[in-house]
A and B are shown apart, each in its own frame.
Chain A
Amino acid sequence: MTTIAMRDQQLLDTAIVSSWSKIAPYWPLQNLIAVNPLAGFEHLPFEQALQQAHGYFQQRDLAAEMQTVNRHSIKWLQAFFDQGQAAISMPYRERGLLASLRLMITLDASLHRHDAEKLQWLGALSEHADEVIAEALEFLAIPVTEHGQFLTLMLTTLPGWASYVRYRTHWADSHDSGHPHQVNAAEYLAFRLILTCLVWPQAKQLLATHEQAVSSAELPSAYTTMLAREQAYRVALLTQLKGAGSAHQHAPQHSRYAAQLVFCIDVRSEPLRRAIEQQGNYQTFGFAGFFGLPVAIENAVTGASHASCPVLLKPNHKVVESPVGSLQNCRKAHQRGQTLKKLYQSLKYNFTTPFVLADAMGVGHGVWMGLRSLVPATAGALTTRVQSALGQHQQLHPNSAVIALPQRINYAASALRMMGLTEQFAPWVVLCGHGSTTTNNIHATALDCGACGGRHGAPNARILAAILNDGEVRAGLAAEGIEIPSDTTFVAAEHNTTTDQVELFSSPANSQQQAQLAVIKRDLRKASEQNSDWRAAQLGLTARGAEAHRATALRAQHWAEVRPEWGLARNAAFIVGPRAWTQDIDLDGRAFLHSYEWQSDGDGSALTTILTAPMVVGQWINAHYLFATLDNVAFGGGSKVTANITGKIGVMQGNGSDLMHGLPLQSVYASDQQSYHEPMRLLVVVRAPQARLNAIIAQQPILQKLFGNGWITMVCCDPQLQQYFTLQRDLTWCATD
């Protein structure tokens, strides 16, 4: 290669990278992860990011020719990325996106209309994506200085699909479902460019239109409303914290707690924690719901596996969960179910046979439709029974021994230290993950545990409980100064956020333990009923008491339910500190709570982890809800009422549209007109010395970016100075009254 060619190549590579940097990833329906749709603009001050976003994503109109390009893109992308909807899928997908689609495009007369010139141009294109991009940019006469910008527009004019590709190229995990059909960042751009060249040779105009759009973009009026709302919330919360903090500072616990319960930092844990604390002598903690374990989980029965840790981490271990009963029986039951499903699918996805299927299955489908609509609770109970017969709902236990002993000790120690539970262990320590149960819900996984990669949290809880109950691990912990009394047992549990139930996974050894556990279970039941009451009100129901419990449980089973639960809507704050500090405050289910004891974290390493991992995830969630509420079309999924699942990976609206990434309307709006979520940026309150925070921020560029550009408001409650400080955008502190 000549130097000039090399320089051009470098310039082009830079342009490709910079264009993709504007695009946030979009996870598929199997594990919807909350992300900031404007993650690519976090290097800008929040207000500027809003303006840029308006220019890129919120334009009312798009050139008609570019819409044609989009229609063809949508057609081919659906066909290429389909994960099992079509029975006859697009040929040659295993050759990768560009190779296969280029072949399809040359056969697609609706694109080239048999125009000899266009066909010749197509035939002459280079093989490599980079070269195709260069050739196409030249064909469209895009000036070199505008390459990056034009490529960006190729992505942002069909943002949903670009986000999905971004997920595939940068985030998709090998532990999640396999992706046999390869795509890379340059290939996708090349594909979009080829279509553009064929349909709209004058596409250069996009640049001018965009420039105009950006220059005329103003801050949305919602921004002013948001500022006022943030201010009011901040003042109210800090007032509450100041009042509560002084009361609790010198009230150490003398008697031993009956149980300590560790919940996920998720905002849905907070009202349940408050409820269980009121039932008796219980202490609760907040910790990331994956319990610090970077693992992938494999189900021994189904063979399915998934990464069960935050997407920022890669799993280091693969833990297999097997049923407590006979594995072979469960496998058989599972096989039976699979054969029946195969039978049904084989009839449905062939020629001729569906005509008989409809007649033979009509009565069954009719009866089932009637049951599910008219007596949904009965239908739900029946479903559970069938699932149990097919070997689901079996209690599982993990083979945590695949993790080497020193590693297990290490995970156990750092988890306990980070949650601030290193002494005064209760006889029972419940590690409670969470997950949701919904029926016929496209966006079901958006309600599951984000810290577990958009999955249920029980497996991680079971693994950590097994590790902490292990004698060798306890000996190792003792050597590190963490003495766990021999009568302390760790129990895994899962909080069902849709029904409020908490299920304990345990088999107590003796009758005394049984009696103790029965009390804990009873109190958890009371707490969950109390929580149902509160949630029923949030859902706009008038039912209270047992009726509220039934009403929320029904939402989990009803196949027409579009708002089974509110998920993390109305999230507003992220509080890092001891529970004693916040225990007497009703935080209204709006706060992520991370336990932290500054005295036991001398070097600040635990706080560094909290701020750079769970807090960042909290900010993703916060921005995910914020933007889906501000503009549910550009940054959300639109109404569930007209949603159409494509390729089993995402949704479109109706006949065909961009991939609608983001939360659907019903997740953040109580009605078409009335939002439920209150869009506001995350308020982080940390109880730690200001100097320690300064040291951490100075070392962490990501924190400087988020705090300095106003994506997060940081407040420090300095326990030594006994004063509150707010971090300003220049990263200096300002005392708060």
Chain B
Amino acid sequence: MMGIEQLFHHDVLSSVMMVLIGFVALCIAVFAWRYLAGDRGKGAFYGYLLIVVVCLFVLVMADHMAVLLGAIAGANFGLVRLLGHNRQWPAAQQSARLAWRNFTLGWLLLCAALLILYGASGESSIQAMLDSDIASGSLWLSSSLIVLAAMTQSALWPFHKWLSNSLNAPTPVSAIMHAGLVNGGGFLLARFAPLLSEQPLLLTAIFVIGIVSAILATLWKLIQSNIKQMLAYSTMGQMGFMIAQCGLGLLPAAIAHIFWHGLFKAYLFLSSGSAAKEPRLSLHYPPSALQFLLALTAGVSAAVIFAATTHKSVFAGDTTLFLLVITVIAGTQVALPLMQANKRLTKPLAFTLTASLAFVYGLSVSFIEHTLAPLAMSHPQPLNIIHISALVVMTTTWMWIIFAHKSAPEQVPKWQLKAYVALLNSSQPQASTMTAHRNHYQV
């Protein structure tokens, strides 16, 4: 007989994930107590929430492959039941069904991957599998399957439909989902990191998958006119970025992203009832060249501060440079409204604020990186042309919004009109999960 402790493996990665899940679940449980007052499904909500949280705790500590598979299945089952919280409403049931199909696919892919690893290593413990020598064919196949499974769980293109169709769920369910289950893909990649880090080609593929999702989802997000759909596509984009970080070999940064984004998005969902009270402010684009250059200077200094706080080298020439360039972009963006304000004190203030935000950003990331240090998960890769192309796209699209995008242009090129219609159509919910006849909605 195997002892129970042999089924589990506890490390700092499990701890980080449990802190996130535990805290978000606690907030959501307290929130829902009021929010679901009088709801006939309140009892069931807490039941399934408990199942989800327990299963996620088991998942992040699982070592035996059967425990891992069981926990994933359990957590996803709980989530599917939560998605279909309103049992009278056909559209909600359809959303749940769609998610269930996706999760089943992901689960089967993971099953196959683990069975291959089991066959190749003869071990049922994941840690033992990772330590054994596995033939390159099996290694390649199983890790590809794990990547695919991760894509289904983290709603990456083309497996994103379950997430973008999940808004028939109660708001707190969306919150736990966007802070918890959707991160499962990142967790899987982190768990099986030793398999992936030896395959540069696969890592580049993961990076491409992540970046494609990140850019596509951001496009979808920016054209959504309802708050929850916007948040859903935003999560999809963030997951893309997180998986791209995995592909860069920067797993600690990816886990940091899971952690902070989880808190960020759970909050945004719970506060989505305030959307109508937050008018969109005019940003007065485009800025003058001088304003932009000043902001850019602040952005560069932000990247230096970020590098210093996270102990990254500015001149490493590896994929850490990717994060630094992203920081330059974000830092520039932070400084820009202040540079544009054109008041006496705003320019020094812009530098100070950008620097402090970069510091907070650096601290947040390095806090998680530091915690995860014992696992030695960071394997920056040499920069390649694909990484650089992605940076070019990310920079151009960002600058396009600032310099070229007009809110009401007199003439729009035909291709842009077509692109708009195509993006709007491809981001629509599936017909069966919409309530096209009002009275099909039921309380």
A192 to chain B, nearest CB (A): 14
Pairwise interchain contact B397-A352, C-beta atoms closer than 8 A: yes
Pairwise interchain contact B214-A355, C-beta atoms closer than 8 A: yes
Q: Give the chain B neighbours of A94 by CB distance below 8 A.
A: 408
Pairwise interchain contact B34-A561, C-beta atoms closer than 8 A: yes
Residues 67-99 of A, flagged 1 when their CB comes within 8 A of B and 0 if not, give 110110011001100101111111111100000
Q: Give the chain A neighbours of B337 by CB distance below 8 A.
A: 339, 342-343, 346
Partner of B281, one of A159, A341, A359, A366: A341
Residues 349-377 of A, flagged 1 when their CB comes within 8 A of B and 0 if not, give 11111111111111101101110111000
B20 to chain A, nearest CB (A): 9
CA distance A672 to B337 in the complex (A): 47
In this complex, what residue of B is CB-closest to A674?
Answer: B38
Q: Give the chain B neighbours of A346 by CB distance below 8 A.
A: 283, 333, 336-337
CA distance A361 to B273 in the complex (A): 20
Indicate whether A342 sits within 8 Å of B263 (C-beta atoms), given known contacts A645-B272, A655-B434.
no
Indicate whether A563 sits within 8 Å of B443 (C-beta atoms), given known contacts A341-B281, A356-B330.
no
B31 at the interface (CB under 8 A from A): yes
Per DSSP, are chain B's interface residues mostly helix, strand or loop, or mixed? helix
In this complex, what residue of A is CB-closest to B360?
Answer: A360
Pairwise interchain contact A352-B326, C-beta atoms closer than 8 A: yes
Partner of B40, one of A88, A360, A672: A672
B260 at the interface (CB under 8 A from A): yes
B6 at the interface (CB under 8 A from A): no
CA distance A168 to B37 in the complex (A): 35
**Stretch of A55-63, A114-122, A493-501, A693-701 with 4 or more beta carbons under 8 angstroms from chain B:** A55-63
CA distance A90 to B431 in the complex (A): 22
In this complex, what residue of A is CB-closest to B407?
Answer: A89
Pairwise interchain contact A369-B270, C-beta atoms closer than 8 A: yes
Range, interface on chain A: 35 or more
Q: Give the chain B neighbours of A358 by CB distance below 8 A.
A: 238, 257, 260-261, 264-265
CA distance A93 to B406 in the complex (A): 13
Q: Give the chain A neighbours of B214 by CB distance below 8 A.
A: 355
CA distance A67 to B91 in the complex (A): 13
CA distance A641 to B173 in the complex (A): 10
**Stretch of A41-49, A104-112, A305-313 with 4 or more beta carbons under 8 angstroms from chain B:** A104-112
In this complex, what residue of A is CB-closest to B418?
Answer: A107
Residues 403-443 of B, flagged 1 when their CB comes within 8 A of A and 0 if not, give 00101110010001110110011001101011111111111
CA distance A401 to B418 in the complex (A): 55
Indicate whether A353 sits within 8 Å of B225 (C-beta atoms), given known contacts A58-B439, A363-B364.
no
Residues 622-642 of A, flagged 1 when their CB comes within 8 A of B and 0 if not, give 000000000011100011111
CA distance A68 to B428 in the complex (A): 13
Pairwise interchain contact A641-B167, C-beta atoms closer than 8 A: no
**Stretch of B130-138, B200-208, B227-235 with 4 or more beta carbons under 8 angstroms from chain A:** B227-235
CA distance A108 to B218 in the complex (A): 21
A440 at the interface (CB under 8 A from B): yes
Partner of A160, one of B270, B431, B438: B438
Q: Give the chain B neighbours of A359 by CB distance below 8 A.
A: 256-257, 260-261, 361, 364-365
Pairwise interchain contact A354-B237, C-beta atoms closer than 8 A: yes
Partner of A644, one of B33, B228, B439: B228
Pairwise interchain contact A79-B225, C-beta atoms closer than 8 A: yes
Pairwise interchain contact A352-B394, C-beta atoms closer than 8 A: yes
Docked complex: B211-248 residues within 8 A CB-CB of A: 214-215, 218, 221-230, 234, 237-238, 241
A539 to chain B, nearest CB (A): 10
Indicate whether A363 sits within 8 Å of B263 (C-beta atoms), given known contacts A159-B438, A351-B218, A646-B226.
yes
Indicate whether A79 sits within 8 Å of B424 (C-beta atoms), given known contacts A645-B275, A672-B40.
yes
Residues 149-179 of B, flagged 1 when their CB comes within 8 A of A and 0 if not, give 0000000000000000101111100000000
CA distance A350 to B337 in the complex (A): 13
Docked complex: B5-50 residues within 8 A CB-CB of A: 23-24, 26-28, 30-40
CA distance A363 to B227 in the complex (A): 22
Indicate whether A91 sits within 8 Å of B260 (C-beta atoms), given known contacts A647-B225, A649-B276.
no
A654 at the interface (CB under 8 A from B): yes
In this complex, what residue of B is CB-closest to A107?
Answer: B421
CA distance A350 to B260 in the complex (A): 19
Pairwise interchain contact B434-A85, C-beta atoms closer than 8 A: no
Pairwise interchain contact A75-B424, C-beta atoms closer than 8 A: yes
Pairwise interchain contact A373-B225, C-beta atoms closer than 8 A: no
In this complex, what residue of A is CB-closest to B94?
Answer: A655
A657 at the interface (CB under 8 A from B): yes
Pairwise interchain contact B260-A68, C-beta atoms closer than 8 A: no
Partner of B279, one of A58, A84, A355, A670: A84
Pairwise interchain contact B326-A355, C-beta atoms closer than 8 A: yes
CA distance A339 to B353 in the complex (A): 12
Partner of B226, one of A71, A362, A647: A647
A441 at the interface (CB under 8 A from B): yes
CA distance A102 to B151 in the complex (A): 38
B274 at the interface (CB under 8 A from A): yes
CA distance A359 to B394 in the complex (A): 18
A67 to chain B, nearest CB (A): 4
Partner of B439, one of A59, A369, A441, A558: A59
CA distance A427 to B89 in the complex (A): 60
Indicate whether A91 sits within 8 Å of B257 (C-beta atoms), given known contacts A346-B283, A366-B23.
no
A347 at the interface (CB under 8 A from B): yes
B402 at the interface (CB under 8 A from A): yes
Indicate whether A339 sits within 8 Å of B409 (C-beta atoms), given known contacts A61-B437, A360-B364, A633-B439.
no
Docked complex: B97-143 residues within 8 A CB-CB of A: none
CA distance A260 to B97 in the complex (A): 63
Pairwise interchain contact B330-A365, C-beta atoms closer than 8 A: no
Q: Give the chain A neighbours of B37 by CB distance below 8 A.
A: 562-563, 671
Residues 360-375 of B, flagged 1 when their CB comes within 8 A of A and 0 if not, give 1100110000000000
In this complex, what residue of A is CB-closest to B20?
Answer: A366
CA distance A350 to B221 in the complex (A): 10
CA distance A180 to B282 in the complex (A): 15
A11 at the interface (CB under 8 A from B): no
Indicate whether A103 sits within 8 Å of B336 (C-beta atoms), given known contacts A70-B437, A92-B412, A562-B34.
no
A39 at the interface (CB under 8 A from B): no
A648 at the interface (CB under 8 A from B): yes
Partner of A29, one of B221, B276, B365: B276
A316 at the interface (CB under 8 A from B): no
B211 to chain A, nearest CB (A): 11
A665 at the interface (CB under 8 A from B): yes
CA distance A89 to B357 in the complex (A): 30
In this complex, what residue of A is CB-closest to B330?
Answer: A356
Pairwise interchain contact A642-B170, C-beta atoms closer than 8 A: yes
Partner of B361, one of A60, A360, A640: A360
Partner of B270, one of A86, A159, A559: A559
In this complex, what residue of A is CB-closest to B28?
Answer: A373
A673 at the interface (CB under 8 A from B): yes
Partner of B32, one of A345, A356, A442, A560: A560
CA distance A61 to B90 in the complex (A): 13
Docked complex: A244-302 residues within 8 A CB-CB of B: none
Residues 151-170 of A, flagged 1 when their CB comes within 8 A of B and 0 if not, give 00000011110000000000
Pairwise interchain contact B31-A671, C-beta atoms closer than 8 A: no
CA distance A674 to B428 in the complex (A): 35
CA distance A343 to B335 in the complex (A): 8
Partner of A645, one of B36, B38, B165, B276: B276
B49 to chain A, nearest CB (A): 14
In this complex, what residue of B is CB-closest to A653?
Answer: B441
Given contacts A638-B441, A653-B441, 6 further A-B contacts (CB under 8 A): A92-B412, A159-B438, A352-B395, A560-B32, A641-B170, A660-B441
Closest 3 CB pairs of A and B: A362-B260, A366-B263, A84-B280
Interface pairs (30), CB distance under 8 Å: A61-B437, A67-B437, A78-B225, A79-B223, A85-B275, A90-B420, A157-B437, A159-B438, A342-B281, A343-B338, A345-B280, A346-B283, A346-B333, A353-B333, A355-B214, A355-B237, A357-B330, A359-B257, A359-B361, A360-B260, A360-B330, A560-B35, A563-B37, A633-B442, A641-B35, A641-B86, A642-B85, A644-B229, A648-B276, A674-B38
